[in-house]
Amino acid sequence: FYLSGNKGKNFQRRRTLYISTEFLTMEPNTAHSHLCFSKDNKKMTRMEAAQPYPDNPDRFTDWGQVLCAEGLCNRCYWEAEWTGEWTGIGVAYKGISRKAKGNECVLGYNDQSWSLRYCNGKYTAWYNRNDAPISVPYFNSKRVGVFLDWSAGTLSFYAVSSHTMTHLHTFHTEFSEPLYPGFRLGFADSTLTLCQAETP
């Protein structure tokens, strides 16, 4: 695998780091009621009708989001692929609000989370309600790789297409708590799947 713009550079990091995050699973107890999950909790679908989930203090009540069960505080890489035209992929501290209707619950719209948003072929990066420049804002890929280096304070997003990874954006900050991967689906019948990174 190689990074776009640097052909021939083997992107072994994509394979080796993914091995440590194959255990990632979405946590249904955090999920909005219109999200439905596969048996292994690695794929979610946005439904027209609400699911009969029990009340839970960790559940997002007003936004179609879910967090993973695992908190990360090391060097990790994972990939997600989706259908539909309004998707969010990011990370959040465990303390992100779940019940409010405002920005404090939305991935990337507060100081508790960072996210990449995909809408109609365009990517934007968000933190604390501020969008950041994207290296390649328009990109025909609905598969994204996320590389977290917690101790270095970096969170990078890549558009993944065939054997090419195109850098979209890197956040630079100082993380203070474990980060939970999170996902958002905006429209009914759209899906998102945690993927296994392909190997050369």
Q: What is the CATH number of the domain that holds 33?
A: 2.60.120.920
Give the chain's mean pLDDT.
89
Q: What's the domain count of the chain?
A: 1
DSSP state of 134: -
Tell me, yes or no, whether 200 lies in a domain: no
Checking if the pLDDT of 162 tops 80, the result is no
Pick the range with the lowest mean pLDDT from 86-100, 109-123, 186-200: 186-200
Residue 35 resides in a domain: yes
23 falls within a domain: yes
- Domain carrying residue 102: 2-195
Cα(17)–Cα(148) distance, integer angstroms:
10
Give yes or no for residue 8 having a pLDDT over 70.
no
Q: Report strand pairing: 2-3 vs 164-172.
A: parallel
Considering the domain boundaries, does residue 171 fall inside one? Answer: yes
- The dihedrals phi and psi of 34, each to the nearest 5 degrees, come to -95, 10
What six digits make up the tokens of 158?
């890549």
Check whether 67 has a pLDDT greater than 60: yes
Nearest in space to 199 (alpha carbons), one of 5, 17, 7: 17
**130 assigned to some structural domain:** yes
Alpha carbon distance 88, 127 (integer Å): 12
Structure tokens at 144: 């994204």
**pTM higher than 0.85 for the full model?**
yes
Residue 187 lies in a domain: yes
Over residues 94-109, the pLDDT tens digits come to 999 999 888 999 999 9
Q: Please check whether residue 93 lies inside any domain of the structure.
A: yes
pLDDT in tens, 9-37: 434 555 555 545 678 999 999 999 999 99
Percent share of the chain, pLDDT over 70: 88
Q: Which residue has the tokens 């990109």?
A: 139
